[in-house]
């Protein structure tokens, strides 16, 4: 079986994941509680904005990596199970979150700060981001 990765879909999936993050961590949604749980103030967030461009750039590189790996999993899953790429995109994204992302974040929180509301915000974002990327890859892949 030859894999044919749609690199445009990978790029759009990474953009979709980042867009979910901008919405998820906006003040109207989860930005205020996230900042409070992280110990940030309005002043410290304003001071941190100078570094955000670089951090967003690095985050985007990792979003591309995640989308690229997800594209491989989606293609293999669709071929193996004989499902549509869309179904494979959504289910693969969910199970990758359930099996890899959520347990790692849960364990880190269990041994770390035990801020379960922060865990819910962050792992919820990871789920939403992966589902958005899986949807894009499933539709375009």
Assessment of whether the complete model's pTM goes beyond 0.85: yes
Q: Where are the domains of the chain?
A: 7-140
- Ranges 4-18, 42-56, 86-100: which has the least confidence: 42-56
Helix locations, the chain, DSSP H: 7-24, 32-38, 42-81, 85-96, 102-111, 116-140
Q: How many whole angstroms separate alpha carbon 137 and alpha carbon 93? A: 10
Q: Using CB atoms within 10 A of its CB, is residue 111 exposed (0-12), middle (13-18) or buried (19+)? A: exposed
pLDDT tens-digit map of 35-51: 999 998 888 888 888 88
């Amino acid at each position: 079986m030859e894999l044919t990765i749609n690199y445009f879909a990978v790029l759009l999936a990474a953009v979709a994941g980042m867009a979910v993050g901008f919405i998820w961590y906006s003040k109207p949604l989860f930005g205020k509680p996230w900042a409070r749980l992280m110990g940030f103030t309005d002043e410290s967030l304003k001071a941190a904005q100078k570094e955000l461009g670089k951090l967003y750039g690095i985050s985007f590189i990792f979003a591309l990596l995640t989308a690229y790996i997800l594209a491989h999993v989606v293609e293999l899953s669709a071929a193996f199970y004989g499902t549509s790429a869309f179904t494979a995109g959504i289910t693969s994204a969910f199970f990758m979150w359930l099996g890899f992302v959520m347990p790692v974040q849960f364990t880190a929180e269990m041994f770390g700060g035990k801020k379960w509301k922060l865990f819910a915000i962050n792992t919820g974002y990871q789920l939403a981001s992966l589902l958005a990327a899986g949807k894009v890859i499933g539709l375009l892949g």
